Amino acid sequence: MSGTVDEAVSDVANGAEAAPLRIAVIGSGPGGYVAALRAAHHGAAVTLVEKDLIGGTCLNRGCIPTKALLAGADALAKARAGREYGFEIAGQVRPDFPRMMERKDGIVTRIRSSVEVLLKKAEVKVVKGSGSLMPGKGPTAYTVRINTAEGTENVDADKVIIATGSEPSHLPMFDFDHPAILTSTSALELTEIPGSLLIVGAGVIGCEFASLFAELGSEITMVEMMSQMLPTEDKRLAKQFQNVYRKKGIRVLLGTKVEEITEYSADHVVAKLSDGSEIRAEKVLVSVGRRPNSADLGLEAVGVETDGCGYIAVDDYMETTAPGIYAIGDVNGGIMLAHVASHEAFVAVDNSLAVRPEDRRQRDLRSTPFCTYSHPEVASVGLSEDQAAEKGYEPVTGTYRFPALGKAIAMGEDVGYVQVVADKNTDLVLGANMMGPHVTDIVHEIALAISTGLTASQLGECIHAHPTIAEAVMEAAHDIRGESVHVAK
């Protein structure tokens, strides 16, 4: 790594060893703890401030616990389909929800412990408490005041990385103190499977919880104010996805809003919808966005500006309006995904350590994968066909459907397809959208193609193992030029 603290920590020319750069990281989610480890590995003296649990929302109340529960639901579905696969299970197959939650908690604890070990081995100083920023004194750029259980501790820093994340939005028409009103956080703390569940919002979070609780036996109704489920995905994919959910018995109401909760009872609530109808449900999951954790950080005191919603303003180098202070992940209002936060952590740390301005790097989100871990899974990266046309390309697409894919048929999961988008004039891969088994894994093939500038022909020429789900990518790439031998002419 050139032009960074690796060069600065040792001044070979005069034989004097410089003091390590002091970096304070506030927040220990997938942005914060990754930033702390990256900086420590390159010689910085790092203090990581966390008021709650190491790992942040993703590890403790988001990505990992939901995937643990979804894995349990998937195993349950497989057991119920035993006859199709050639085996029988004596007795009734039913979920043991307390055990599922226990397994989820154990997985979270295991991974969190692993992160804590990594931080310890990297000699990152971890301070448990709430941090706020103040101008430093003398040669110190900034001071982080940390309110801990034992009192106040001040940490001086040359550079600061803010990675405080976000939390579920609380819409005013819902009483979140009532036990029937859930967020994505409180839904992970349920002790019983709700008999009926109204999900407000059919985005990624809503669809994942719908997939989970539908398999567990809940009666699901989803309300989405937009004209399609998964509003950021390709509209054709979203329509097919909705058809799959309909066959699962999930009711989806598009172009509809919850106007108010007209009745709060001990065992149910009644919601009035914008079309005038009412829905009675045991629980309501509100999954309509998130808000930044930027309050009480002392931002004004050090010159860090925010927008009207509280998101911290940053440039493409992840630097805020205050020199030497960076903001990464959800708190800066960009793409609110854990893997984006980790990418921005690398960018912010490298720029914090850069010796010369020309050594700085910019974030590059062109090949960011978007994944929904529902059943079936949904994934996309780059541009859809419509987006490519809007940007002035002449898009061409190639599609391969899982009902024709040997591995998908053998797995008993032949619902879905892979569609690759390329530019007709240059053959460059522009993006892809896909639905089906393991597409959240194979989408990275397209991400790599985009980031390295591969053509659809090059992607198709890459030998793919048979039988695999990834073969659908190869076949879709061939289909762009009409050359897939497994697509009927």
Do residues 407 and 390 touch, judged by C-beta distance below 8 A?
no
Do residues 469 and 405 touch, judged by C-beta distance below 8 A?
yes
What is the distance between the alpha carbons of residues 417 and 93, in angstroms, rounded to a whole number?
30
β-bridge partners, 397: 421
Do residues 67 and 373 touch, judged by C-beta distance below 8 A?
yes
Q: Where do we find the tokens 């998937």?
A: 74
What is the distance between the alpha carbons of residues 9 and 17, in angstroms, rounded to a whole number?
6
Rounded (10°) angle between helices 63-80 and 97-121: 140
Do residues 273 and 257 touch, judged by C-beta distance below 8 A?
yes
β-bridge partners, 380: 370, 433
Rounded (10°) angle between helices 338-353 and 32-41: 30
CB contact set of 462 (below 8 Å; sequence gap of 6+)? 474
Is 466 noted as a catalytic residue in this protein?
yes
What is the distance between the alpha carbons of residues 363 and 38, in angstroms, rounded to a whole number?
16
Do residues 439 and 379 touch, judged by C-beta distance below 8 A?
yes
Nearest-CA neighbor of 133 among 2, 271, 326, 378?
A: 326
CB contact set of 167 (below 8 Å; sequence gap of 6+)? 57, 185, 290, 291, 293
Burial bucket for residue 313 (CB in 10 Å: 0-12, 13-18, 19+)? middle
Q: Which two tokens stand for residue 187?
A: 């839904």
Do residues 304 and 333 touch, judged by C-beta distance below 8 A?
no
What is the distance between the alpha carbons of residues 66 and 212, in angstroms, rounded to a whole number?
9
Nearest-CA neighbor of 398 among 379, 414, 417?
A: 417
Rounded (10°) angle between helices 32-41 and 97-121: 30
Q: For residue 311, what is the DSSP state? A: P
Start-to-end C-alpha separation, the chain: 52
Do residues 155 and 24 touch, judged by C-beta distance below 8 A?
yes
Catalytic residue among 42, 268, 444, 466: 466
CB contact set of 154 (below 8 Å; sequence gap of 6+)? 143, 144, 145, 146
Nearest-CA neighbor of 287 among 348, 200, 209, 219?
A: 200
Catalytic residues: 466
